[in-house]
Every structure is written in C-alpha cells, then in structure tokens.
Structure 1
Amino acid sequence: MKRAYNFNAGPAALPLEVLQQAQEQFVDYQGAGMSLMEMSHRSNLYEQVNNEAQALMRELLGIPDNYKVLFLQGGASQQFAMIPMNLMREGRPAAFVQTGAWAGKAIKEAKLIGETVIAASTESDNFNRMPELSEIQVPDNASYLHLTSNETIGGTQFAEYPDTGAVPLVADMSSDILSRPIDVNQFGLIYAGAQKNLGPSGVTVVIVREDLIAESPKSLPVIFRYDTHAKQNSLYNTPPSFSVYMVGLVLKWIKSQGGVSQIQQYNANKTKLIYDVIDQSGGFYKGVAQPGSRSVMNLTFRMQSEELEKLFVKQSEQEGFVGLKGHRDVGGLRASTYNAVPLESCQALAQFMADFQKRNG
C-alpha cells in the first residue's frame, strides 16, 4: 500500500508504527478476547492504559507532581468554556492574547462567562505574527492570561512564553504540544485536543496545577468541574477509551524517537526543507507569517493568483498529497507538518513545489 503524503491540519497524520500496533491489538487486546473498545472503563486493563498514558505524558514533558493530567472530551472548544467557568473570579477579568482565529474563539466563549480584557493583539498586522513579549500587558488582578501557542490557520507560533508572575498562564497547545520542550512550571493550565500531535480525535489533554482546581465553583454542573475529573482520575464518566489508548501509543512512539528534544530537531529539519523552497523562489511562493513568528507545525504560503493556487492543489492531489489547501476562512496554501509527518513527505513536497515553479514560473 502506498501511503498518502498527509499534510492535513487535523485530524492529522499518525505514526505508521502506531497504526500498525493498534491494528494488531484491535480485535483482541492483550488476550482479553475482546477489543479495548468493548471493555469496561472500570476494568484493570483499561485502568492500566489510562495510568500509563498519564505517566508517559508526565515523563516526556517533565510535569511536576503538583499538576494533574486529565483526559477529557469536547475538544479544545469545550475548554474555551470550561476554563473561564472554573478559573474566572468575580472582579478579576480573564486576559487574552489575540493572535487569530483560535484565540478569538476562546475570547468569544469567555465573554459569555465574565469580564475579559485583551492583553495584546496582532489584528492590525492581519495576525501574521505573534506579539513581542514586551507588548503583552497583563492586569495585576487578572484571573489568568490565555494564549494560543500556535495558530494553525495563520501559521504563527510563539517562540517563547511570557513571564506572568502571580497571574496563571493558560495555553492552548492543541497544535504544538510535544513538538518541543517546555517548562510546565511556567503554566497554570495547558490544554490540547489530541487530533494533531497526540493521537486521534475524541480526547483532550488538560495539564493543570492542583491549587487552581482544588475547589471548582459549586455552582457549576458536576461534569464541567475540573475537580470532579481530577478526583476520579479522568474516570468520572465513560472516557474515550480507544482515543486514550492511541495517545498512549503515540507517547511511546515519541519516547522511542528520543523524546521531545529529538522530535524538535526532527521537526526543524522537516520544515526547513519547505521554508527554503518558499524563501528561494524569488517571490513565486510567499510566506504568510512573518519570519520571526513562523510555525514549525503549520506552514502557510500564497502564490501570485488564486487560479495558480487551485492548480497547485489539483496537481498535488494527483501526486498523492493531501491537505495542502489553506483554511476556508483565509484561502491560500498550508502544509501541516506535525510530529508524525515523516521527513520523506516533506522532502517530496519540497521537490513538488520546486517542480511546480519550473512548470509555471
């Protein structure tokens, strides 16, 4: 079977080894005579899956003991609401860094819960860059500061994170978690939908400092309280068990590759191939993000006309490439090069782009 060159933005590529391992265990998980998907989430076998995935997440990111690792549902979109519901306090606004579409969705949800303020925004630059850390002004009385570490639509990414002092830093890392080392101590809460860098859709990882969720507001429905899920080890309700299992396999794969530092270098090598073609094309390809804010996960670029971009997409699909059309809200072109996208796919795309320019430049 010939595998597609998968550059989808999400759900996205998974490591072939992980897919093959899941295939082998799909019908009969560890001799149980049934699939993991058929198994009670209260069983010892599933509890092992749940605990092992948590332990691997802790190991790979160096998560301190005073943080909880939760496996929830509803994607990042549910977290846009759960975070202000749980962390926003009366008279203390939630502060946001507005960097594009996903940050905007988080702001929109928070406004339904309480007061919000914009600590920094790059809207005047069409969201083609991340703000300098000096531009981020956090009110001393803020409940928290929220940022989106990587904007998949605009193709921008924070190179480093602000020091927010006593104000908890909350980060949506859906599209770049485990792509590079981070200091978890710098954050009060990190969340990520799995379907880009962690596994299939269906599960959302939340890494949260225990003191922030020691007592979620009693007025909240139980299912929306972080302390509910923390006390029940993410087993309060039936979890997305197969998705959690797949996350565990992906985490094992990352560990086998040498961990997050090795993945970071691997990703840098992959994306350099494509950015070099863009930068050396004499303007035939034009990067969307400013160079200092370029994403290593989502590479966005334009061409001289929409007709040429449509031709690029059509011919790329004929050559086995998938997912190179830009987001419907902004158009253009985008290659999402998450952890599981192989170097060979990026080499093939770089060659296709060079050949396309020769034919149409």
Structure 2
Amino acid sequence: MIRTTNFNAGPAALPLEVLQKAQNEFLDFKGAGMSVMELSHRSKEYDAVHQHAKALLKELMEIPDDYEILFLQGGASLQFSMIPMNFLSKEKTAYFAMTGAWSEKALAEAKLFGNTSIIASSEADTYNHIPDVSNIPADGVYLHLTSNNTIFGTQWREFPDSPIPVVADMSSDILSRKIDVSKFDIIYAGAQKNLGPSGVTVVIIKKEWLTKENEQVPKILKYSTHAKANSLYNTPPTFAIYMLSLVLEWLKEKGGLDAIEKRNSEKARILYSAIDESNGFYRGHAKSDSRSNMNVTFTLKNDELTKSFIEQAKEEKMSGLGGHRSVGGCRASIYNAVSIEDCEKLAAFMKKFREAH
C-alpha cells in the first residue's frame, strides 16, 4: 500500500507509528482480550490510559498544578457556547480579537449570554494578518482569541499581555510549539488537528475559574462537574483518548515541543519559499509577519489553474490541498504528523507545476 500524503485541515494526518501501534493493539489491548473500544470506562485498564494521557499532556506542555485538564466532547464548537454560558452575563463584558471564521462563531455564541466587544479585527483585510491588540480594558471578564486560523493561514506569533484573563482556542496549533500556559486561564482544542482523531476536546482551565461558574447552567455543561469526576461524569470518548495518549507518546519520543517546533518551522519555510520564489505564480494570502506554521494558504491566478493544481496533486498521491470554500485557492495543512519529506514533495510538485504553466 502506498499511503497518500495528507494535507487535510482536519480530521488531519496521524503519525504512521501511532496508527500501527493502534492496529497492533486493536483486538487485544494489553492482554484484556478485547479492544480498548470495548473496555468499561470504569475499568483499571482504561483508567491507566486516561491517567497516562493527562500526565503526558501536563508534562509536554508544562501545565502548572493550578490547572485542570479535562477531556470533553462537542469539539471547539461546544466551547464557543460553554465558556460564556458558565462565565459571562448581561452585567459582564467579554472582549474578542477577530482573526477569522472561528472567532466569528465564538463571538456569535457569546452574544447569547452577555455583553461582548470587539477589541481588534483584521476582517477589513480579509483576515490576512493578526491585528494589534493593545490597550485592553481592565473591566472585561476575559479576552478571547484564536491562536491559529486554519482558513486564512494566520497565527499569533506573540500573545498579548493582558490585564484580564485570556481564553484561547488552540484547536489547530496546540502542541506545535512551546507556549507559556500560565498566560492563559482557559485553553481549549478539538483533537483532530494535532492531538489525535476527532471525538475528544481538551480543555485546560485554571482551577480558580471553577468557583466562578454561573448557577443556572445544566450540570453536564459545568466545568466543575467534569473536574470533580475526572472527566468521567458520563462515558468519555475512550478510543479517542487512547489515540490521544499514543500521539503524546510519539511526540515525547520525537523530542517534545522543542524538537517539534523546530521541525514545524522548517516545514513552513520549505513551502513559503516555494511561494515566495514563484515570481507571483503562487500568492500567499497571509502577510509575512502573520504566516501560520500549520496552514499554508495561497492562490493561483484563476480557478481553472487551481482546479488543475489540485487534481494533479491527487494524481501524485497528495490530498486535501483545496482551500476553504470561503477563501478559495489552496491550503496545505502541515500539522505535527506531516513530515519534512512530505513538504519537500509538495514544494517539488509546486515547482514542477509552475514550470509547466
């Protein structure tokens, strides 16, 4: 079997070693005589998986002791609602830095629960850069930002120093680089980009926030409910958490976040060089100081050429290069599991396609 090089934005590429290990354990997990998918979430076998995943995440991200690590469901989309449902009200204001479609969705949900205000936005420039965020009002309950923007291909290089708590959607670049977790009060991320398969959402939340929850919130939508129950209040997505633990093991074996950040920077350099050296044949969407190391977005001169590029790439066993429908063009998502060799393959194809046209 010749595997396809996977540049999809999500669900995205998983490390081959992880898939192979899961395959080997699929029918008989550590002598249990059954698949990990069949284990009771209350069993000692699954509990070991659950605790291992939490411990590895804490180690790799250097998460301080005053944070809870939760494994929830519903993706980042549920967090758009769950965060303001628990912490916003008509008497409070949440501030938003607008950098793309996911910021827009988070803002729309927050408006249902309390006051919101846009503190900075790059919408007028088709979200082609990260806007300047300064003079953050001290009266806000939190500042919300999206650390990486898959559709437009922009990423925060430096996070703002904020006088109010910072809430970050890190779905598409969590574990791709080192960050100072203590600068954030809540970090949330759907797994299907860098963490594993779809189905589990990681939430890293300061413990003191659990005492600030609004009262009129359904029990299953309270963070404290899941914290008290070790994310076992209801049946968790056990297989997705198992896969998450394997991805974290792989990441640790590769040298952790220092090594993966260096590799991701090199991958991005290869593809952005192919764009910049094309004499305008490929045009990057994001401004150079805001370029994402996870999602490389670019356009060609017309739709016909773009369609041909994507079709020929598929013939070369490269998949997922179509841009989001709201932007068009092309997008190469180069999350942790995508190798340097994969990016070199795409860059070589880009050069060959340019020379042919």
TM-score by length of 2: 0.99
Matches within 5 A, 1:258-269: 258-269=255-266
**Identity, % of aligned positions:** 57
Residue 78 of structure 1 is matched in structure 2 by: 78
Secondary structure at the aligned position of 1:213 is classed as: helix
Q: What letter is aligned with 2:179?
A: I
Confirm whether residue 198 of structure 1 aligns to residue 195 of structure 2.
yes
Whether the aligned pair in 2 keeps the contact of 1:7 and 1:335 (CA below 8 Å) is yes
Alpha-carbon shift at residue 228 of structure 1 (Å): 0.2
Cα distance in structure 1, aligned partners of 2:118 and 2:317: 43
Matches within 5 A, 1:1-361: 1-134=1-134, 137-165=135-163, 167-360=164-357
Cα distance in structure 2, aligned partners of 1:122 and 1:218: 35
Secondary structure at the aligned position of 1:347 is classed as: helix
Cα distance in structure 1, aligned partners of 2:322 and 2:226: 38
Secondary structure at the aligned position of 2:119 is classed as: strand
Whether the aligned pair in 1 keeps the contact of 2:145 and 2:168 (CA below 8 Å) is yes
Alpha-carbon shift at residue 225 of structure 1 (Å): 0.2
Alpha-carbon shift at residue 139 of structure 1 (Å): 2.2
Cα distance in structure 1, aligned partners of 2:293 and 2:347: 15
Cα distance in structure 2, aligned partners of 1:29 and 1:217: 41
Cα distance in structure 2, aligned partners of 1:131 and 1:215: 30
Whether the aligned pair in 2 keeps the contact of 1:278 and 1:285 (CA below 8 Å) is yes
Alpha-carbon shift at residue 270 of structure 1 (Å): 1.0
Secondary structure at the aligned position of 1:171 is classed as: strand
User: CA offsets, 1:122-181, max 9 Å, x none?
Assistant: 1111100001243xx42211110000000000000000101112x110000000000000
User: CA offsets, 1:161-210, max 9 Å, x none?
Assistant: 01112x11000000000000000000000000000000000000000000
Secondary structure at the aligned position of 1:192 is classed as: strand
Alpha-carbon shift at residue 342 of structure 1 (Å): 1.3
Secondary structure at the aligned position of 2:198 is classed as: coil
The change in CA–CA distance for 1:133 and 1:217 in structure 2 (over 3 A counts) is closer
TM-score by length of 1: 0.98
Cα distance in structure 2, aligned partners of 1:20 and 1:123: 43
Alpha-carbon shift at residue 317 of structure 1 (Å): 0.7
Cα distance in structure 2, aligned partners of 1:132 and 1:197: 27
Cα distance in structure 1, aligned partners of 2:205 and 2:90: 21
User: CA offsets, 1:299-325, max 9 Å, x none?
Assistant: 000011111101101111111110000
Whether the aligned pair in 1 keeps the contact of 2:94 and 2:143 (CA below 8 Å) is yes
Cα distance in structure 2, aligned partners of 1:215 and 1:164: 19
Unaligned runs of 5+ in 1: none
User: CA offsets, 1:258-315, max 9 Å, x none?
Assistant: 0001100001111111110100000000000000000000000001111110110111
Cα distance in structure 1, aligned partners of 2:276 and 2:264: 18
Alpha-carbon shift at residue 86 of structure 1 (Å): 1.2
Alpha-carbon shift at residue 358 of structure 1 (Å): 0.5
Cα distance in structure 1, aligned partners of 2:219 and 2:32: 33
Q: CA-atom RMSD, angstroms?
A: 0.9
Alpha-carbon shift at residue 216 of structure 1 (Å): 2.3
Alpha-carbon shift at residue 90 of structure 1 (Å): 4.5
Unaligned runs of 5+ in 2: none
Alpha-carbon shift at residue 88 of structure 1 (Å): 1.3
Alpha-carbon shift at residue 89 of structure 1 (Å): 4.1
Whether the aligned pair in 1 keeps the contact of 2:168 and 2:187 (CA below 8 Å) is yes
Cα distance in structure 2, aligned partners of 1:357 and 1:73: 43
Whether the aligned pair in 1 keeps the contact of 2:97 and 2:144 (CA below 8 Å) is yes
- Matched residues, number: 357
